[in-house]
Amino acid sequence: MVIYNRVALIGLGLIASSMAHAMRAGGLAGEIVGHAKSAETRAVALEIGLCDRVCDTAAEAVAGADLVVLCVPVGAMEAVAAEIGPHLAQGACVTDVGSVKQAVIAAVAPHIPGGVAFVPGHPLAGTEHSGPRSGFATLFQNRWCLLTPTELSTPEAVARLRSLWEAMGSNVDEMDPAHHDLVLAVVSHTPHLIAYTMVGVADHLRRVSNSEVIKYSASGFRDFTRIAASDPVMWRDVFLTNKEATLDILGRFTEELFMLQRAIRMGDGDELHAYFTRTRAIRRGIIEAGQDTAAPDFGRVAKPSGA
């Protein structure tokens, strides 16, 4: 069932290539046109047949498209929006897949001309891999996609985009952009920062204890290293643009950490036991909500995770 006649993907990394595969698998787009910044990525996209056409410029790629998907790092959204703005077709819809919503809206909305809808979006699905070869059609299966409509989103444009994400396997929710950024700071952005920090600590320790950190890493630490292998550009941009929410959650995290540190120092077993009992109940809730399985799977390969 064709939902859009021509979809332009700007940026051809993990998310765009997964969308291309999923749209192909479901016959959801009449034509898929792509553009990426480097000639190298464009050549790979051509070689593997990711798109029907690959264009040298974003302006060329969006011409005549009824859906334009911005799949570039959050920090690159503004430059891309400025370039494509004058070339968007009347009646088209622009969306994005950025991990932060308020900053993307502020960067993109001023460049959307009259007669074009803008519906910001964020699929909560990803892996630590990036680039045009890393995508796969089932990435969005049973994962949430959050749409954060603005005054530039018409109800028709939102409904049509929702039907695309649902046809790619996602469950779709609508959310206020500021609320999105706070929720994501809790469930994704701060945990990634903690993983980066923990791997940094272990790297520092390794100089003291040789290779023990690697040797015994299966006991949980390996999952931290998987998360900390995520794309540095993408994650730099997430923290630079979701600054306030991340700092808020980090402040709360630090307070809890100090509280646990004190409980350990004071030998307060009751406090530790009560705390871990509460967190165990949260984990059970996640399994019951179908967001993970109970089976431990440390070091898993390409395990979908939200960003």
Specify the residue, 64 or 131, whose C-beta has the smaller distance to ligand NAP: 131
Q: Are 143 and 171 in contact (CB under 8 A)?
A: yes
**DSSP for residue 87:** G
Dihedrals phi, psi of 272, to nearest 5 degrees? -65, -45
- How far from each other are the two terminal CA atoms of the chain, in whole angstroms? 29
38 touches ligand NAP by CB under 6 A: yes
Alpha-carbon distances, residue 292 vs 37, 75, 170, 275, 286 (angstroms): 35, 31, 15, 22, 7
What is the biggest distance separating any 2 CA atoms in the chain, rounded to whole angstroms? 67
Q: Which of 9, 20, 80, 185 binds ligand NAP (CB under 6 A)?
A: 80
Name the token pair of 149: 């409509």
CB of 45 to ligand NAP, least distance (A): 8
130 touches ligand NAP by CB under 6 A: yes
Q: Which of 3, 6, 13, 102 binds ligand NAP (CB under 6 A)?
A: 13
**DSSP for residue 205:** H
Hey, CA dihedral for 78, 55, 27, 132, is it positive or negative? Answer: negative
50 touches ligand NAP by CB under 6 A: no
Specify the residue, 71 or 213, whose C-beta has the smaller distance to ligand NAP: 71
307 touches ligand NAP by CB under 6 A: yes
Say whether 307 sits in a helix, a strand or coil: coil
Which residues, 6+ apart, have CB-to-CB distance to 107 below 8 Å?
77, 78, 81
- Show the DSSP H helices in the chain as ranges: 14-26, 39-47, 58-62, 77-84, 102-108, 155-167, 177-184, 190-209, 212-215, 221-227, 232-241, 243-266, 269-288
Specify the residue, 130 or 225, whose C-beta has the smaller distance to ligand NAP: 130
Specify the residue, 189 or 213, whose C-beta has the smaller distance to ligand NAP: 189
Cα Rg of the chain (Å, integer): 21
Which residues, 6+ apart, have CB-to-CB distance to 145 below 8 Å?
121, 122, 123, 124, 125, 165, 170, 171, 172, 173
231 touches ligand NAP by CB under 6 A: yes
CB of 286 to ligand NAP, least distance (A): 18
Q: Which of 11, 121, 149, 169 binds ligand NAP (CB under 6 A)?
A: 11
CB of 27 to ligand NAP, least distance (A): 23
CB of 305 to ligand NAP, least distance (A): 7
Q: Are 121 and 145 in contact (CB under 8 A)?
A: yes
> Of residues 177-216, which lie at the interface with ligand NAP (CB under 6 A)?
none
Specify the residue, 13 or 149, whose C-beta has the smaller distance to ligand NAP: 13
**DSSP for residue 122:** E
20 touches ligand NAP by CB under 6 A: no
Q: Which of 123, 149, 169, 177 binds ligand NAP (CB under 6 A)?
A: 123
147 touches ligand NAP by CB under 6 A: no
Total chain residues near ligand NAP (CB under 6 A): 30
301 touches ligand NAP by CB under 6 A: no
Binding piece for ligand NAP, criterion CB under 6 A, among 124-132, 193-201, 215-223, 256-264: 124-132
**Rule CB under 6 A: which residues touch ligand NAP?**
10-16, 36-38, 41, 58, 71-74, 76, 79-80, 97-99, 122-123, 126, 130-131, 231, 234, 307
